[in-house]
């Protein structure tokens, strides 16, 4: 199609950017469509105290942050900042808000040649390696606009920003509006009297003009564009353009209306939102009511709650599931306010929702939320425009996920000898930090060690210690008054107050003028110091542990509980992580869940749990309490008989535990440790049964202990919940010698994997992990994180053979309850008969009863989410031949059915319950 020639009036009114924002009906629109897998039930399931609201703020150098768009994960928000004080050469500077560090980064081309730069889109490539940001800059000479592209190679750390060659002529002005994961670009150009929206395909390097469309948003895959159709001005249309076919589809308006506009599209490109004239609103300039378009439902208005609320509104961003955000008018004068919509709630005021559901009344006090313009793929991060308590216009972001926790990182440099310590703040500044470093079993207590050149002898808490006075090895934010308490060699069981065989560090903040802190929220990780120790080679290792229920204080000296700090002993490349964290039903710090995350599948695996002081009995892993008669009880050998307390893929009959106790010293094992041995329980054709899915976190089992009750007071020691059980591999190499019928680490072929898992442990600490569907499997362990799956079983993936009844034996990380395409609901996997059955039922609806009710929702492998039954097929309306096509592709070994936000396929109905 040839570009339509626009006169100057149309260019001025329709193409001139307002700041970095496209204007429709007096409001900024078209912010984001990269929203994928969240549902409203998920939002309600999270604890109300988890959410955090913050204004994007001002500094002495920059003010007035403007939100344009958010990427799918919600960790980056792009837009611009206004330099302070105003009046300089630049009116706005492109910037990216980092939701992790809570800080802006200035981006874009060099500012000397431009009077305004704006970032308008940001995404991460499918492999996670490349971050791309698109934007535009207003030239001073010659007047016009340049489109710029920033690419950040995360593995190498290199960043390049280039001015894109003008299209369609060397003198054309270009404005980039959005970018996909694959680098597709949605933008605009002005070339003399001609202007057009364009779509750029990086694979073919071809520009496609869309002259009758004002593009507002693009899906995450770069396959579809939505916007405002202008072919029949003054009437406008909500339009969806498909890149593959080059065709355009008119979606609206609502009944009773003439004009409409599409503002946002979902990650998969299936759901569109916008605003439209309708029979529900009076005429105006322009009258508008928020709508949602679904390929099976068509267009429908977003009904307000309460019913009498104003219907003048606009939907700006949507998810593939059931969350939409935007603005609506309030009161006689039509003051805008932000809304959130779901099918369950209808359209409700966002501030009221955040106040009542997430208890954010204090943080939102005196804030006015004018509009919600962007939302993350999981629906848990929302950004928009507002008015701050001071009365200034200020954009904002609300994070409905759990609060950010501080992370103490113990990093192997040259293990087992050389280590480094780093700290990253969460939501709180940290002034002082208290923790322990547990040396290996082979460490001699009169042996050599060095923490950051802290050599001044002293006493702390009546224990021998060294201070850091004059040290040159401590981090820049660490005060010289910091200290390390030395371990002492004590015969007998551990005592209650401290673990005598542990280094205890007290690090005091001293960073920066007037700041007595180790770190501030939003800072990058800060170096604390190095730790060197003289130990034997082999499985010797160090690990970090909590000292008490309070691990830190903030900048005001207020206590920070251990629940707000994660402890991480980082693994070496290719290593194995064993995660330990508080169980979901733990109330007093005595129940902990363990999981394995490894690059390879294991058949047999062993690890240890270093216990808190004073815990030497009533210890259990997976309910393993049955003594082995005839072996004696000095080593506290136990067998397991309760599969309900173990991971689904663990053979409960083969679990063995040993310790703690002094008798373990005779085998070169730790006396304060419970040693655990597990075997796989997944049947298969390999030499040994499998116990974990490679590169997925797989549950091992529940660890619990009961601290001995003080006979005088009748209560357990008060320090108990503060201590953190710690994963160790120290002494594991001696486990088989102590118990002849076990192995340490064996893969599926029976090969010893000892040297692959040294010095490896995942995050642990007092914090609990989220469980979105409430089935008592944390999301990281849950093979169906959005569908309750009591067994959490995983028989495998789609069978890629022609044998219709052969079930694969390799788990794929997708649970049986949410295996897309499992139409028979028999095997927990997809076999050829499932695909044939779906094809036959779609061709002959009388066969629909052959598909069990629970399996009907598994038909939908592509999306969207719509469980309404189609009378013509007796299947949900979201089940069609497109789903069969995807299953056939997967059977041929093409893209798997493990969904990612914005990728194809999405399988939304079973993954977003």
**What pLDDT is recorded for position 511?**
57
Write out pLDDT tens, residues 541-588. 677 777 666 788 888 888 887 778 888 887 776 678 888 888 888 877
Tokens (6 digits) for 399: 């994070």
**pLDDT exceeds cutoff 70 at 13:** no
Q: Whole-angstrom Cα distance, residue 742 to residue 731?
A: 14
Contact 761, 578 (CB under 8 A): yes
**What pLDDT is recorded for position 310?**
84
**What pLDDT is recorded for position 87?**
61
**pLDDT exceeds cutoff 80 at 185:** yes
Q: What is the mean pLDDT of residues 704-717?
A: 56
Lowest-pLDDT range, 74-83, 616-625, 888-897?
888-897
Give the residue with greater pLDDT, 479 vs 487.
479
To which residue do tokens 């007047």 refer? 143
**What pLDDT is recorded for position 195?**
94
**What pLDDT is recorded for position 367?**
96
Contact 68, 34 (CB under 8 A): no
Contact 162, 107 (CB under 8 A): no
Helix (H, G, I), strand (E, B) or coil at 611: coil
Angle at 724 between CA 721 and CA 726, to 5 degrees: 155
Contact 868, 909 (CB under 8 A): no
CA 194 to chain centre: 43
Q: What is the mean pLDDT of residues 723-740?
A: 83
Q: Are strands 619-621 and 698-705 parallel, antiparallel or unpaired?
A: antiparallel
Q: Given pLDDT bands bounded at 50, 70 and 90, which one contains residue 601? A: confident
- Backbone φ/ψ region at 538: left (φ over 0), alpha (ψ -120 to 50), beta: left
Looking at residue 588, the DSSP 8-state letter turns out to be: S
Q: What is the mean pLDDT of residues 213-236?
A: 92
Q: Are strands 224-229 and 237-242 parallel, antiparallel or unpaired?
A: antiparallel
CA-to-CA separations, 895 to 32, 37, 270, 831, 890, in angstroms, rounded: 26, 19, 19, 16, 6
Q: Within the chain, what is the greatest distance between any pair of CA atoms? A: 96
Q: What is the mean pLDDT of residues 317-323?
A: 74
Q: Given pLDDT bands bounded at 50, 70 and 90, which one contains residue 630? A: low
Write out pLDDT tens, residues 237-267. 999 999 988 999 999 899 889 999 999 998 7
Q: Whole-angstrom Cα distance, residue 173 to residue 150?
A: 18
Give the residue with greater pLDDT, 461 vs 214.
214
Please give the mean pLDDT across all residues of the chain.
Answer: 77
**What pLDDT is recorded for position 850?**
82
Which secondary structure element, helix H or strand E, spans residue 106, and what is its range? Answer: strand 103-106
Which secondary structure element, helix H or strand E, spans residue 226, and what is its range? Answer: strand 224-229
SS3 content of the chain, % helix, strand, coil (to 5): 10, 35, 55
Write down the H helix ranges in 712-806.
735-738
Write out pLDDT tens, residues 89-105. 567 899 999 887 778 99
Contact 413, 422 (CB under 8 A): no
Task: Say what the alpha-carbon torsion angle 46, 52, 56, 59 is, to the nearest 10 degrees.
Answer: -150
**What pLDDT is recorded for position 683?**
55
Task: Say what the alpha-carbon torsion angle 777, 780, 781, 787 is, to the nearest 10 degrees.
Answer: 50
**Got the DSSP string for 679-711?**
EB-B--SSSS-B---TTS-EEEEEEEE-PPPPT
Q: What is the mean pLDDT of residues 441-447?
A: 68
Q: Whole-angstrom Cα distance, residue 506 to residue 504?
A: 7
Q: Across the strands, what pairs with 336? A: 329
Contact 806, 796 (CB under 8 A): no
Whole-model pTM? Answer: 0.62
Q: Are strands 418-424 and 76-83 parallel, antiparallel or unpaired?
A: unpaired
Q: What is the mean pLDDT of residues 877-896?
A: 62
**pLDDT exceeds cutoff 70 at 28:** no
Contact 108, 119 (CB under 8 A): yes
Contact 738, 635 (CB under 8 A): yes
**pLDDT exceeds cutoff 50 at 852:** yes
**What pLDDT is recorded for position 402?**
63
Write out pLDDT tens, residues 404-428. 788 898 888 887 778 899 998 887 8
**pLDDT exceeds cutoff 90 at 532:** no
Looking at residue 911, the DSSP 8-state letter turns out to be: H
Q: What is the mean pLDDT of residues 896-910?
A: 37
Q: Angle, nearest 10°, between helix axes 881-891 and 832-843?
A: 160
Q: Whole-angstrom Cα distance, residue 151 to residue 75?
A: 16
Contact 328, 309 (CB under 8 A): yes
Q: Which of 198-212, 373-387, 502-516 has the highest average model confidence (pLDDT)?
A: 198-212
Tokens (6 digits) for 888: 């056939």
Tokens (6 digits) for 501: 């065989």
**What pLDDT is recorded for position 319?**
72
Task: For residue 35, give the nearest of 372, 426, 328 by alpha carbon.
Answer: 372
Q: What is the mean pLDDT of residues 365-372?
A: 96
Task: For residue 130, give the nearest of 73, 183, 191 by alpha carbon.
Answer: 183
Q: Given pLDDT bands bounded at 50, 70 and 90, which one contains residue 891? A: low
**pLDDT exceeds cutoff 80 at 395:** yes
Exposed, middle or buried by CB within 10 Å (0-12, 13-18, 19+), for 825? middle
Contact 662, 713 (CB under 8 A): no
**What pLDDT is recorded for position 540?**
56
**What pLDDT is recorded for position 280?**
84
Is the sign of the CA dihedral 313, 319, 322, 323 positive or negative? Answer: negative
Query: Which of 247-274 are b and which e, b meaning 16 or more Cβ less than 10 Å from the residue's Cβ?
Result: ebbebbbbeebbbbbbbbbbbbbbbbbb
**What pLDDT is recorded for position 500?**
64
**pLDDT exceeds cutoff 50 at 474:** yes
**pLDDT exceeds cutoff 50 at 806:** no
Q: In the chain, what percentage of residues exceed pLDDT 70? A: 73
- Listed in sequence order, the residues at least 6 apart from 844 whose beta carbon sits closer than 8 Å to its beta carbon are none
Q: Whole-angstrom Cα distance, residue 175 to residue 144?
A: 10
Q: Given pLDDT bands bounded at 50, 70 and 90, which one contains residue 795? A: low
Q: Given pLDDT bands bounded at 50, 70 and 90, which one contains residue 729? A: confident
CA-to-CA separations, 309 to 316, 326, 330, 589, in angstroms, rounded: 19, 15, 8, 48
**pLDDT exceeds cutoff 70 at 687:** no
Q: Both ends of the chain: CA-CA distance in Å? A: 43
Q: Whole-angstrom Cα distance, residue 237 to residue 228?
A: 6
Q: Whole-angstrom Cα distance, residue 458 to residue 753?
A: 44
Looking at residue 112, the DSSP 8-state letter turns out to be: G
**What pLDDT is recorded for position 22?**
23
Write out pLDDT tens, residues 811-834. 666 777 777 677 776 666 666 777
**What pLDDT is recorded for position 266?**
83
Contact 123, 181 (CB under 8 A): yes
**What pLDDT is recorded for position 15?**
26
Tokens (6 digits) for 148: 């710029």
Q: Given pLDDT bands bounded at 50, 70 and 90, which one contains residue 878? A: low
């Amino acid at each position: 199609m040839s570009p339509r020639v626009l006169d100057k009036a149309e260019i001025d009114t329709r193409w001139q950017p307002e700041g970095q924002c496209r204007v429709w009906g007096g409001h900024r629109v078209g912010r984001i469509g990269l929203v994928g897998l969240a549902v409203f039930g998920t939002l309600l399931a999270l604890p109300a105290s988890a959410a955090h609201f913050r204004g994007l703020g001002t500094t002495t150098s920059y003010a007035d942050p403007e939100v344009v768009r958010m990427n799918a994960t919600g960790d980056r928000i792009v837009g611009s900042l206004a330099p302070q004080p105003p009046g300089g050469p630049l009116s706005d500077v492109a910037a990216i808000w980092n939701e992790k560090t809570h800080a802006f980064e200035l981006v874009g081309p060099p500012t000397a040649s431009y009077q305004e730069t704006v970032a308008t889109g940001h995404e991460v490539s499918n492999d996670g390696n490349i971050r791309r940001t698109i934007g535009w800059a207003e030239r001073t000479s010659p007047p016009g606009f340049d489109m710029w592209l920033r690419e950040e190679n995360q593995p190498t750390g290199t960043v390049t920003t280039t001015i894109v060659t003008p299209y369609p002529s060397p003198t054309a002005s270009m404005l980039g509006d959005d970018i996909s994961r694959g680098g597709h670009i949605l933008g605009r150009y002005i070339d003399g009297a001609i202007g057009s929206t364009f779509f750029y395909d990086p694979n073919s390097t071809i520009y496609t003009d869309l002259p009758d469309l004002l593009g507002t948003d693009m899906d995450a895959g770069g396959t579809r564009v939505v916007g405002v159709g202008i072919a029949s001005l003054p009437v406008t249309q909500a339009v969806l353009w498909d890149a593959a076919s080059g065709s355009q589809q008119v979606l609206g308006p609502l009944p009773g209306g003439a004009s409409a506009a599409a503002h946002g599209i979902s990650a998969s490109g299936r759901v569109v939102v916008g605003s439209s004239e309708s029979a529900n609103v009076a005429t105006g300039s322009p009258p508008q009511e928020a709508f949602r378009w679904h390929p099976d439902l068509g267009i429908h208005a977003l009904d307000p709650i309460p019913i009498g609320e104003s219907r003048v509104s606009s939907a700006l961003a949507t998810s593939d599931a059931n969350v939409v955000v935007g603005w609506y008018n309030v009161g006689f004068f039509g003051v805008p306010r932000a809304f959130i919509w779901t099918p369950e709630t209808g359209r409700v005021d966002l501030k009221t929702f955040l106040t009542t559901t997430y208890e954010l009344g204090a943080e939102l006090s005196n804030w006015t939320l004018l509009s919600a313009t962007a939302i993350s793929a999981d629906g848990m991060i929302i950004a928009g425009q507002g008015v701050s308590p001071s009365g200034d216009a200020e954009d904002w972001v609300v994070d409905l996920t759990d609060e950010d926790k501080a992370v103490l990182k113990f990093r192997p440099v040259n293990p087992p000898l050389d280590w480094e310590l780093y700290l990253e703040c969460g939501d709180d500044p940290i002034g002082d930090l208290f923790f322990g470093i547990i040396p290996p079993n082979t460490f001699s207590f009169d042996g050599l060690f060095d923490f950051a050149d802290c050599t001044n002898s002293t006493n702390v808490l009546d224990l021998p210690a060294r201070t850091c006075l004059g040290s040159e090895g401590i981090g820049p934010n660490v005060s010289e008054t910091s200290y390390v308490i030395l371990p002492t060699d004590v015969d007998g069981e551990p005592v209650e107050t401290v673990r005598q065989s542990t280094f205890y560090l007290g690090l005091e903040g001293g960073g920066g003028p007037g700041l007595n802190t180790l770190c501030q929220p939003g800072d990058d990780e800060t170096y604390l110091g190095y730790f060197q120790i003289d130990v034997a080679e082999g499985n010797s290792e160090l690990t970090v542990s909590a000292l008490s229920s309070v691990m830190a204080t903030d900048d005001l000296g207020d206590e920070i509980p251990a629940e707000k700090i994660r402890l991480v002993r980082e693994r070496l490349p290719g290593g194995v992580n064993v995660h330990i964290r508080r169980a979901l039903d733990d109330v007093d710090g005595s129940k902990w869940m363990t999981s394995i995350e490894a690059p390879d599948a294991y058949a047999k695996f062993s690890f240890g749990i270093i216990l808190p002081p004073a815990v030497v009995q009533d210890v259990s892993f997976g309910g393993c309490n049955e003594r082995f008669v005839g072996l004696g009880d000095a080593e506290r050998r136990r067998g397991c008989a309760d599969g309900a307390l173990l991971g689904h893929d663990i053979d409960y009959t083969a679990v063995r535990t040993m310790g703690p106790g002094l008798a373990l010293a005779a085998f070169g094992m730790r006396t304060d440790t419970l040693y655990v041995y597990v075997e796989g329980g997944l049947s298969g054709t390999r030499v040994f049964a499998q116990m974990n899915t490679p590169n997925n976190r797989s549950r091992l089992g529940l660890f619990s202990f009961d601290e001995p009750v003080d006979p005088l007071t009748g209560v357990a020691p008060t320090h108990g919940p503060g201590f953190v059980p710690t994963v160790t591999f120290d002494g594991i190499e001696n486990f088989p010698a102590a118990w002849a019928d076990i192995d340490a680490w064996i893969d599926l072929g029976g090969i010893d994997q000892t040297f692959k898992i040294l010095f490896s442990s995942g995050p642990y600490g007092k914090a609990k992990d989220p469980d979105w569907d409430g089935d008592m499997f944390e999301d990281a362990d849950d093979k169906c994180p959005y569908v309750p799956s009591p067994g959490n079983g995983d028989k495998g993936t789609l069978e890629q053979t022609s044998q219709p009844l052969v079930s694969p034996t390799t788990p794929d990380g997708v649970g049986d309850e949410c295996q897309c395409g499992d139409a028979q609901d028999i095997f927990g996997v997809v076999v050829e008969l499932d695909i044939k059955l779906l094809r036959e039922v779609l061709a002959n609806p009388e066969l629909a009863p052959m598909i069990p009710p629970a399996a009907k929702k598994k038909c939908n492998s592509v999306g969207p989410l719509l469980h309404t039954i189609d009378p013509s097929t007796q299947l949900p309306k979201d089940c069609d031949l497109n789903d069969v096509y995807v299953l056939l592709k997967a059977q041929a070994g093409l893209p798997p059915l493990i969904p990612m936000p914005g990728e194809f396929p999405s399988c939304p109905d079973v993954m977003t319950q």
